[in-house]
Chains A and B, each alone.
Chain A
Amino acid sequence: MLTVVVGAGRSLLGSLSNNLLGAVKTTHEVIPRLHYNSIFSQQQRTFIQMRTNLKVVDNSGAKRVMCIQALKGRRGARLGDTIIASVKEAQPRGKVKKGEVVYGVVVRAAMQRGRCDGSEIKFDDNAVVIVNKQGEPIGTRVFGPVPHELRKKKHLKILTLAEHIA
């Protein structure tokens, strides 16, 4: 029995059936022989879609942001894509305020993304860097590791600000 993890049911079912990596494990199936801790480790990670909370990793002033639209991608945004988001939590004196609608680039995603050499990369959490409509970051610093995929997507400014490129 499949239980819906997050987001719209129709799109989620589609993503589960076409999932590239064949990791079609369901999260909440209760099989008595499973150890208690392996239920936690088999979490199915999916795309970044509407209502996904993301961490903001630059000094633009926002702390948490909720995705309201993933540009490009029927099922959602992945590592390196841009999203439109609403600021849910912000620092008192910052460039963005709570309730603003901003663009963001996903720099860390818990869902694995395939690389052109055949391997896969995944991060610990979902993180975003706030950009303007042209794709330039609003903040002046970026924290934490960022992936190589940004180079292909032409987000070079974010790469130069990054402290570690995965």
Chain B
Amino acid sequence: MRLEKCWFCSSTIYPGHGIQFVRNDAKIFRFCRSKCHKNFKMKRNPRKLKWTKAYRRLHGKDMTQDSTFELERKRNRPERYDRNVTESTLKAIKKIDKIRVAREARHHAMRMKGKKAIEQQAAAKELEQSIHLVKAPAALQEDPSLTLPKMKIKVSQSQMEDRMEE
């Protein structure tokens, strides 16, 4: 059993899924689902479709080079079954996955780093320029400050009860 990668979207193809297409030059294309297969038949370039891994790697949205990828490379030599090796490999796979996820999260954080500052600046600028959409122009002339003025109204207890009864 072997877990393959979809040629189009680079997701893993589990056993029992997908179609493999063999071209006459003996190149095999594996697809995880009919969406990828149909896009391939339409001759679309995966590097131009935003939802594929090829696009994301090409445009720097996802990690491209990492040592964890080296461990996942395809090996064509069959290994003799050894119980201890299998056990340690399974443990290693789990650990490598954890490390890879952590590194991808860090890459994402680095990518999104300046976002909050930019958002704050844009918000401040918008507030300054478009305050006339929120406040009435007469009120602006009265009170040039940007915040609504705080007014303290003293309401006596009996008046409140009268209003509630109404």
Contact = CB atoms under 8 A, between A and B. Distances in A.
Contacts of A112: 19
B26 A122 contact: no
B24 A124 contact: yes
Interface string A107-150: 01000100001111111110000000000000000001101000
A117 B6 CA distance: 17
Q: Is the interface of B mostly helix, strand, loop or mixed?
A: loop
A5 interface: no
B18 interface: yes
B24 A121 contact: no
A17 interface: no
Given A117-B16, A118-B15, A166 B41 contact: no
Given A37-B42, A38-B42, A41-B38, A166 B19 contact: no
Contacts of B24: 108, 123-125, 144-145
Interface in B1-54: 1, 13, 15-24, 26, 28, 38, 41-43
Contacts of B15: 117-119
Q: 4 closest A-B pairs (Cβ-Cβ)?
A: A118-B16, A41-B41, A164-B26, A145-B26
Interface of A: 37-38, 41, 108, 112, 117-125, 144-145, 147, 163-164, 166
Given A122-B20, A145-B26, 15 more contacts: A37-B42, A108-B22, A112-B19, A117-B15, A118-B16, A119-B17, A120-B18, A123-B23, A124-B21, A124-B23, A124-B24, A125-B24, A145-B24, A164-B26, A166-B28
